[in-house]
Amino acid sequence: MNMRVALFDVDSKIPNLALMKLARHHLSQGDEVESYLPLDVASYDKIYASKVFAFSDGSYINEDIMEVGGTGINMSKSLPPEIETLQPEYSLYPGFKHNIGFTMRGCRFKCDFCVVPKKEGQPTSVSTIEELLVQDSDFLILLDNDPFGNPDWKARLKEIRDRGLTVNFSQGINIRIITDEQARELSTLKFSNINRTKKQATFAWDQIKDERLIIRGIERCKAAGIKPYMMQFFILIGFDTTREEDHHRVKMIIDQGADPYVMPFDKSDLYQSAFARWCNTRICKSVPWEEYRHGSWKGN
């Protein structure tokens, strides 16, 4: 007997790949699949819920009637292999016309603030670019956590280049250890921010101790022809840095001619939320933090 299946995307900022693969699986079984509507809860035979972020609101999740997964609630749970290997069903997100996916899983590093090494282990190549191109689009959002950590990174970048794709490195590129060769390869690609509004590659500066490596990486990218305005940096705050170190990193990235983007470790913290707002709305380029803080945020 066919089922009516609901898929509940709790907090994804981009299409949820796991839910799209579940949609593909159930549609292939002849089931009816739709996005979850709370008012219709009694009519569903099965409900899946996916929560990506630990800090997001999960008050609408009911584990008594839902099968719940996602990094934000259960790191040990994963899709069955026969579903994981399916192509995603993009009809779950009708407004999204591009492609999204992983060519690798895992990471070379074991950063304490990151769940990827705990959940996925060491880097493993899992798919080609061709296998990710489900929709008729030349824009690909790549979810690889460490693109140059992919054992097959050269082949994957060649595919992107040969197909004329524009790629967004949504999780950031590890600029601390980027080589001259990798910077040159990156410079040959058409890359952009996630909204495809600016030619920009995303990197990260998470810890203050890496400043020398960050500057070296920027210089390598510049030597390869990647201008500073083509660089965006995720800047983690609230984990193991002081507020002075947060401000220093933002200022240094701006002074380099690149764009900082602050990522609060604890979004419930008023300082972290205010500092992220000051930076990510680009007020940081015209109003000093000290003035913004005293004018718009009354914390210390």
How large is the average pLDDT for residues 158-173? 97
Q: Which of 110, 111, 88 is nearest to 99 (CA)?
A: 88
> Are the CB atoms for 206 and 239 separated by under 8 Å?
yes
Residue 205 pLDDT exceeds 70: yes
> How far, in Å, CA of 91 to CA of 116, rounded?
28
d(CA 242, CA 178) in angstroms, rounded, equals 26
Contact 134, 87 (CB under 8 A): yes
Assign 152 a pLDDT band (cuts: 50, 70, 90): very high
Rounded percentage of the chain residues whose pLDDT exceeds 90: 83
Whole-angstrom Cα distance, residue 13 to residue 294? 31
| DSSP β-ladder status, 46-50 and 166-169 | unpaired
Q: What is the mean pLDDT of residues 161-189?
A: 97
Global pTM exceeds 0.85: yes
Residues sharing a CB contact under 8 Å with residue 121, sequence separation 6 or more, in sequence order: 105, 106
pLDDT at 155: 98
Report the CATH fold assignment for 87-296. pyruvate-formate lyase- activating enzyme (3.80.30)
Grouping H, G, I as helix, E, B as strand and the rest as coil, residue 218 is helix
DSSP sequence for 59-117: TT--TTT-EEESTTT-TT----HHHHTSPP-GGGSTT--SEEE-SEE--S---TT-SHH
Residue range 25-42: mean pLDDT, rounded? 96
Determine the average pLDDT of the residues in 217-231.
98
Binning pLDDT at 50, 70 and 90, where does residue 297 land?
Answer: low
Looking at the DSSP bridge assignments, the partners of residue 232 are 202, 259
Arithmetic mean of pLDDT over the chain: 93
User: In terms of Cα–Cα distance, which of 280, 297, 278 is closest to 288?
Assistant: 278
Would you list the domain boundaries of the chain? Answer: 1-86, 87-296
Determine the average pLDDT of the residues in 109-131: 82
- Please give the average per-residue pLDDT across 24-52, as a whole number: 96
CA–CA distance, 191 with 172 (Å, rounded to integer): 12
298 pLDDT more than 70: no
